[in-house]
């Protein structure tokens, strides 16, 4: 199978992206934050309905309060994007609040945001350990928007610990079962 140069670049980005937990206090340029957000809108969604919403902040006070209600937020991000599910909009399309597709959409959006951040040289890491109610208050979310994941963004700190690696390193063969 032949790969295009663009295809090879995408595969290289997938292979080199890592969760970054050590970030500098250097601000993230608004243009970079907007680039990551624009990439997020291209994430695949159930029926192309875009039932996820992004709430972005680079305000130091808001980020400090988010950290206080997010025990999983080890890093000190210079910016964050919270991926939310818009449940009223989902209901308009007939999705129950526990529809699995809503979580799939959050995952594809998060993966896209993480890859976009990596592509422009930002460090990024997902956080799912937080108080949903408190994050909703901190971010002043509209009724029915549920925060599902926070993507922390910033500039990778030099000399940060190496990424955690599974031992031994898994291959796709280790993760795959073929069915005849």
Per-residue pLDDT reduced to its tens digit, 95-122 = 888 888 889 999 999 999 999 999 999 9
Tell me what pLDDT residue 147 has: 97
Q: 12-26, 67-81, 82-96, 158-172: which has the minimum mean pLDDT?
A: 158-172
Tell me, yes or no, whether 82 lies in a domain: yes
Tell me, yes or no, whether 56 lies in a domain: yes
Tell me, yes or no, whether 31 lies in a domain: yes
What's the pLDDT band for 65 if we cut at 50, 70, 90?
very high
Judging by beta carbons within 10 Å of its beta carbon (0-12, 13-18, 19+), is residue 169 exposed, middle or buried? exposed
Return the closest-CA partner of residue 14 out of 172, 177, 127, 130: 172
Tell me, yes or no, whether 136 lies in a domain: yes
Tell me, yes or no, whether 172 lies in a domain: no
Tell me, yes or no, whether 168 lies in a domain: no
Q: What is the 3-state secondary structure (H, E, C) of 81-119?
A: EEEEEEHHHHHHCCCCCCCHHHHHHHHHHHHHHHHHHHH
Domain CATH number, residue 69: 3.40.109.10
Tell me, yes or no, whether 43 lies in a domain: yes
- What domain count does the chain have? 1
Range(s) of the domain holding residue 116:
16-154
Structure tokens at 141: 């979310």
Kindly state the percentage of the chain with pLDDT values over 90: 62
Distance between CA atoms of residues 147 and 150, nearest Å: 8
62 has pLDDT over 70: yes
What's the pLDDT band for 175 if we cut at 50, 70, 90?
confident
Tell me, yes or no, whether 113 lies in a domain: yes
């Amino acid at each position: 199978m032949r790969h295009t140069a663009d295809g090879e670049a995408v595969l290289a980005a997938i292979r080199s992206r890592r969760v970054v937990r050590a970030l500098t206090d250097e601000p993230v340029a608004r243009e970079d934050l907007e680039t990551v957000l624009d990439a997020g809108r291209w994430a695949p969604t159930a029926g192309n309905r875009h039932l996820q919403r992004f709430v972005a902040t680079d305000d130091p006070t808001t980020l400090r309060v988010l950290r206080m209600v997010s025990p999983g937020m080890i890093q000190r991000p210079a910016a964050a994007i919270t991926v939310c599910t818009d449940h009223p909009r989902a209901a308009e399309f007939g999705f129950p609040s526990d529809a699995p597709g809503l979580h799939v959409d959050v995952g594809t959006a998060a993966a896209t945001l993480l890859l976009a951040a990596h592509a422009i040289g930002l460090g990024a890491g997902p956080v799912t350990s937080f108080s949903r109610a408190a994050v909703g208050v901190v971010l002043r979310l509209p009724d029915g928007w549920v925060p599902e994941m926070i993507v922390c963004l910033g500039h990778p700190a030099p000399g940060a610990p190496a990424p955690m690696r599974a031992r031994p390193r898994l291959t796709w063969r280790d993760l795959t079962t073929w069915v005849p």
